[in-house]
Every structure is written in structure tokens, then in C-alpha cells.
Structure 1
Amino acid sequence: MKQILYALGLSVLLFSCKQNQKNAVIYSPRTLAANEKFNAAQPSADSVFTIYKHNSEKDAPISGTEAFGIKFKDTVVSIQVNKADSSAADKFSYVQPVNTQQTTFLVQLANHPDLATAFYLIAFKDDKLNVISLNRPSTGKQDGKFTTGLNKIGRGGYLINNDFFITNVNAQVYLIKRQNPEERIQGEFILNSPDKSTLVFLQPSSLYEVHYESDEVFTQPLSKPAPATADLSGWIKDNFNWEKNKKGITFLKFSDSNRIVDIKEFG
């Protein structure tokens, strides 16, 4: 009797495994179109996505942290990480909806060794599932220092590796304009403008500033190195002001107490 029950249990387990295999689909990620939006509505009353925890089942914990999976309708979403082989990943250490419809998710692969290739968007768009790679090749000498992964910018959105900005609420994705097209920005993100549209990066001898909505940039030279991070806020407050140019774009500029302010700058 025990042997019969064991055989039945094994059959159920194998059937379950086969079902999971059948319901897993491997998606090859595509590249991002310039300033692409991902804000599709849910096609029905029920969400097309289901987020679940791997660790709540029988899977072992991943580095002691939670691992998440995503189902699109009744299929497990698995991403082909490397086009050169058939390996795929379906476990994520970070899953975050980035639009109010909750049809677009920003994800980070679990246990992935390279932050540059760890981030993707999983989105319902044009009546199908889209997987978008958030990776731009870079040859910067200090890429290791400035490939820092995800940086949440207040309530405005998410900065990914100094290369992408994803707005919250409507999930519009911007390619951050580089100083050198071959290199991701070789600087530390330190500040966002009051209107939430200009990102400021600290470099050894300058502030590199990007208005991500228009691709307009400004470089503010520094006469001496910036202080340590703990003193950075006071240093900026004492030495710089936010100023609008003739196009209404805000940049952080060195304060000049003798400068005559032209009212047209704020027009």
C-alpha cells in the first residue's frame, strides 16, 4: 500500500513539474526605442500578470533574500539572458510596477553577477508581452565604479546605471544623453532639479547635467574638487543656484553675487 501511495505521489510530482515546464516561456529581450512609453491598460478586469514568491514554495532561498517570479496569464516569464546560449532566468530579486495600470514591471535578475545586464522591463504592450533590456554597451574606464544598478529618484522615477530614466506613474523610458557615446556617464548622480527633469552627476572637475526630456546638457566646471558626500548638500546650497535658460530648462550653475539677472532667463 505504501509503495502504491509513493508511486502515486511521485506521479503527481512529475506531472506538476511537467506542467510547470509547459507553462514556462522563454522570451528574448529586445532593445528600447527612443523615449518609449509603456502604459497600456489591462485588457480585462483581471490583471494579466501574477507576481509570486519562489521562497514561499519549495525553492531554496537565494542568498538569503526573497526571489520573485512573474506569470503572464498562465505562463511563467523566463528571460534569455545570453543570446549565445539557451540559458534563461525566471527568478528576480526586485520586481516593481512602474505605471498605475500595473502592466509594466521593472525587474532585476536574482544572483546575476553583472549589474549592467541585470535589469529589464516586462510589459504588456501592443496586445502581447514585451521584455526590454536596460543595457547599453559601454567602454568607460571607470564603468565598474559607476555601474551602480538602480537608483530611486524620489517619487519621480528610477535611474538605471546612469543610462536610463524610467518615470513613475506612466512608465516612460528615457535614454540619458552621454558625454561620450561609447561610455556611460562617468560620474556619481547627486541631485535632481526642483522640476524633476534635470539630473546632476558629480565628476572630478565638473558637474555634468542632463535634461532628460530634451537631451539638452550643461557642464558646470569646478574650480576645486567637491567635498565629501556628508558635506555635499551644504556645499551646493552655498555655491550654486538653479537657473532657467531661455528654453525654460533648469540647470544648476555656480553662484555669482555680481551677476545681473536677466528676467528673460526665467521666461
Structure 2
Amino acid sequence: MKQLVCALGLSALLFSCQQKETAATYTPRTLTSSEKFNDAQPAADSVFTVYKYNSGKDESGSGTEAFGIKFKDTVVRIQVNKTDSNGLADKFSFVQPINTQKTTMLVQLADHPDLASAFYLIAFKDQKLNVVSLNRPSTGELDSKFTKGLNKLGRGGYLVNNDFFITNVNAQVHLIKRQNPEERIQGEFILNSPDKSTLVFLQSSSLYQVHYESDDVFTQALSKPAPANADLSEWIRDNFSWEKNKKGITFLKFSDSNRIVDIREFS
């Protein structure tokens, strides 16, 4: 009888060990300039599995959804605080594949108080898992106003906190050139050029424009502040036009008030 009890206990222990999930912790690295994250799947099955947490929703269904990611059979955890051994994150409020191969995921940490440090790439690259931080230190006086998180620019890609632009399909990540290297762009993103390569940021006295593929920039001074947001699109159409410089790069410049503007330039 004692042997039977011991055997049953051992079986239960082995079963619980088999049921226990394995997890791995990854320390994020910094992004190098204009990296691509478009490696192919190494096998027929996807390297990533996204699953939903029972995320603390109450009986009414309110609360924030949270997701987890497995790399093959292993739960991915991110070391978000290097000085705290307990500073691990494996719950994400946003998970989105950003390449056709679905080997790179753009994620946002769930319930994270600081938008500037909440975004990461989890990518299969160079035959291993990479976790890349999408955070650049900034000392801007108006950072709290212009650190808005994720901005999806149609089919073109994602703008993250005025600091990174991620192209869809081929998953190339560009560092957006700052006016001041110590500060993220102190302006509100308002427009993308017709060729989807120049980002326009509205500031108090200018339009700061970045061609993210070349790092060429152009600042268009404003003779007076822009109108309220409700009239912003019409004001831009009435006063500006897209012009190419000698390099073939498109920037927004003051236009002749008598010029007929094609509204498709701003779609």
C-alpha cells in the first residue's frame, strides 16, 4: 500500500512538471541605425505563438486585455529593469506582427506607466531571438506632451513616440532624426508625404520635417501659429504644397495662394 501511494505521488509530481511552462528572460538591446527585421520562418510552423491572458477582467468584462508570447515552446519575458531582478514583463497590451514572414512582433507592455519605455520588438533574427528596446533617452521639456506612444500611419507603418518609424512588410526600423540630439521631437505629428517618406511635425512656430530614409530635414517657419485642430487640414491645403528638392526629396513648403492644390497630395 505504501508503495502504491509513493508511486501515485511520483506520478503526480512528474505530471505537474510536464504541465509547468518554461520561460526565458531576455535583456533588451538597443537599436542600431535602420535595422531590418524580416528573417524568414525557419520551419513550417511559426516561431511565435500569441496567447491571451485571463487578464484580471471583472464579471462585467471591463479591464485591459493582455497577451503573452511564446518563442517556440518558451514564454518570452523581458528584463525591463536591470537593477531589479523582479522587473520582468511577459504581459503585453498590444502585439502586432510587422513583417509578412511574421517573425517580428511589435509589442507594448501592459499596465506600464511610462510610454517612452513601453515598446519593444521581439524578433527572430540571425537564427536567434532578439528583444530590442524602442526607447531613446530624452530631456525634452515637453516630453510628457509629445510622448504619445504608437501612431499607425495607414499602411505605411508605425511611428513610436516621435522617435522611431517602422515600415510595414519589410520591417525596417528607422531612428527619426531629432532637432536636438538630447530631446525627442517637441512637436505633434500631423502629416506624411504622398510618397510616405517625409514626416511632418507641427511646432509652435514651424513645421519640422524629416525624410526618414535619408535623415534629410527641413524646417518651414510659420508666420503665425496654426489654427485649432479642427481647421488644421484645410489650413495646410490652403497654404502649403509638396515640393521636391534637388535630391528628389519631398518637403512641405509655403505655396502661392493662387495655386490650385490637388487634394490628393494630402491624402
Give TM-score, length-normalised by structure 2: 0.88
1:211 is aligned with what amino acid?
A: H
Q: 2:140 & 2:247 partners in 1: Cα distance?
A: 31
Change (3 A) 1:17 1:238: farther
| Alpha carbons 1:38, 1:125 under 8 Å: kept | yes
SS in 1 for 2:182: coil
For the 8 Å contact 2:49–2:71, the answer to whether it is kept is yes
Q: Is the 8 A contact 1:158 1:167 kept in 2?
A: yes
TM-aligned CA deviation for residue 13 of structure 1? 11
Deviation at 1:163, TM superposition (A): 0.1
Structure 1 pair 186–88 and aligned structure 2 pair: CA distance change class (3 A): same
Q: CA deviation at 1:66?
A: 1.2
- Report the AA paired with residue 19 of structure 1: K
| Secondary structure of the corresponding residue to residue 183 of structure 1 | coil
Q: Which runs of 4+ in 1 moved over 4 A?
A: 11-14
* Mapping 1:90-105, distance limit 5 Å: 90-105=90-105
1:70 and 1:13, CA in 2 relative to 1: closer, same or farther beyond 3 A? farther
- Structure 1 partner of 2:264: none
Aligned partners of 2:244 and 2:250 also within 8 Å: yes
Matched, 1:81 2:80: yes
1:146 maps to amino acid: F
Paired position in structure 1 for 2:106: 106
Percent of pairs with identical residues: 78
- The structure-2 alpha-carbon separation of the partners of 1:14 and 1:79, relative to structure 1 and needing over 3 Å to count, comes to farther
RMSD across aligned C-alpha pairs, in angstroms?
A: 2.1
2-side partners of 1:52 and 1:246: how far apart?
Answer: 50
Q: Deviations over 1:82-121 (max 9, x none)?
A: 1111120000000000000000000000000000000000
Classify the secondary structure of the residue corresponding to 1:151.
strand
Q: Is the 1:61–1:67 contact (alpha carbons within 8 Å) kept by the matching residues of 2? A: no
Residues 19-46 of structure 1 show CA distances to partners (whole Å, capped at 9, x for unaligned) of 22xx110100000010000000000110
Name the counterpart of 2:234: 234
Q: Give the distance between the partners of 1:159 and 1:14, measured in 2 at CA.
A: 46
- What does 1:1-267 align with in structure 2 at a 5 Å threshold? 15=16, 19-20=20-21, 23-55=22-54, 60-61=56-57, 64-86=63-85, 87-256=87-256
Matched to 1:126, the amino acid is: D
Q: Shift in Å at residue 14 of structure 1?
A: 9.2
Alignment gaps of 5+ in structure 1: 260-267
CA distance in 2, matches of 1:73, 1:61: 28
**Counterpart-to-counterpart distance in 2, 1:238 and 1:150:** 29
Counterpart residue type for residue 30 of structure 2: T
Please list the CA deviations of residues 242-266 of structure 1 after superposition, one character each: whole Å capped at 9, or x if unmatched: 000010000000113589xxxxxxx
Cα shift readout 1:146-171 (whole Å, capped 9, x = no counterpart): 00000001100000000000000010
Letter in 2 for 1:254: F
Distance in 1 between residues matched to 2:123 and 2:230, nearest whole Å: 39
Aligned mates of 2:189, 2:34 — CA distance in 1: 21
Equivalent residue letter for 1:243: E
Asked whether the equivalents of residues 137 and 182 of structure 1 are also in contact (C-alpha less than 8 Å), the reply is yes
Confirm or deny: 8 A CA contact 2:197 2:211 kept in the other structure. Answer: yes
Match of 2:265 in 1: none
Evaluate the alpha carbon distance shift between residue 29 and residue 257 of structure 1 in structure 2; reply closer, same or farther with a 3 A threshold: same
Letter in 2 for 1:238: D
Unaligned 5+ runs, structure 2 = 260-267
Letter of the 2:57 partner, please give it. P
Secondary structure of the equivalent of 1:108?
strand
